[in-house]
Amino acid sequence: MEHSCYAELFGALKSCQNCEILLNENLQNHSTFHIGGPADVLLLPASIADFLQILQTVFALNIPYKIIGNGSNILFHDAGFRGVMIKTTAFTRVSASGHVIQAECGASLAKCARYAKEMSLTGFERLFGIPGTVGGALAMNAGAFGTEIADLLYSATVFDVKTQEVKKLSREELDFGYRSSAISDRDYILLCAEFALEPGDSSAILDEMNICAEKRRRSQPCNFPSAGSIFKRPPNDYAGRLIEAAGLKGMRIGDAEVSEKHAGFIVNCGHASAKDVCELIALVQERVRETSDVLLACEIEILAER
């Protein structure tokens, strides 16, 4: 990237109230996989107003950008990112009005679930252990134990990339599917969301959160860096079962390994590179195709070199 372009960006950012600017920031620090090279610029706005101002500036200057939440569903490239990464985790306000909870896009699902429990509102508890933000979760319609986040959505306030307008959209307008939606940093960038919950009993909600957390601890490789399930669930089956049936548990390329505990996860056993992970994904897809005639689709987003 041209340095003059960043100079203009930094000039424009002076009017932001509060925005951390990191240069040549190692993306390993922003990925639950602990993988990735440096980003030219990583910005952490501390409010929706600053987030919006950054978006408008980045579009006006035509700078390549990528929005990230907690980096728990992305594999960053080993060469990093030539452009501006905008991370949302510094604005995380959650509030309630009656049975409706409003959350800024950088709020974690854990924070939303805890807040809902405090307000004796039920619905969020099964999403408690997903280590993502509201923005990342709505972008891929995250779900667990029978709840998808789209089930709870009442409305979403977004920045429309095409028209550069802020709009409020209903669930029906966002085209949710299994691990997919119209929210993405190429179309509708989420600013905040409203979730319609039901009145519930706070101690029963807490019990359900604890049960879900315990199920995760028992079945998932929580002590290794990962991006959760690598593959989407194929129709009428489970990716983990097919991978295990192909004899791939423990299969390793470099420091990337098909988890011994849950074959649907690839874990970073030390210093895995994105290249190791991509090669292992391709190997798993090939072997499962051979043994079960199923092509596993990736659930995680793999960032190309740029």
DSSP letter at 146?
Answer: T
Closer to ligand FAD at the Cβ: 151 or 301? Answer: 301
Residues 6+ away with beta carbon under 8 Å from 240:
229, 262, 263, 264, 265
Catalytic residue among 47, 82, 173, 179: 179
Residue from 53, 57, 102, 133 touching ligand FAD (CB under 6 A): that is 133
Neighbours of 241 (CB within 10 A): 14
259 binds ligand FAD (CB under 6 A): no
* Cβ pair 101, 95 in contact under 8 A: yes
Q: One of 181, 229, 259, 273 is an active-site residue; which one? A: 229
108 is known as an active-site residue: no
Q: Does residue 151 touch ligand FAD according to CB under 6 A?
A: no
Half-sphere exposure of 265 (CA within 13 A, CB side): 21
Q: Is 240 in the site for ligand FAD (CB under 6 A)?
A: no
Which of residues 36, 71, 200, 264 is near ligand FAD by CB under 6 A?
A: 71
**CA–CA gap between residue 152 and residue 114 (Å, rounded):** 15
Q: Which helix (H) or strand (E) holds 60?
A: helix 48-60
Which position among 25, 148, 257, 299 bears the catalytic label? 299
Which secondary-structure segment (H or E) carries 74? strand 74-75
Judged by CB under 6 A, which of 44, 189, 256, 267 binds ligand FAD? Answer: 189
- 179 flagged as catalytic: yes
- Name the residues that contact ligand FAD, by CB under 6 A: 32, 66-74, 88, 105, 130-133, 135-137, 139-140, 142-144, 183-185, 189-190, 220, 226-228, 301
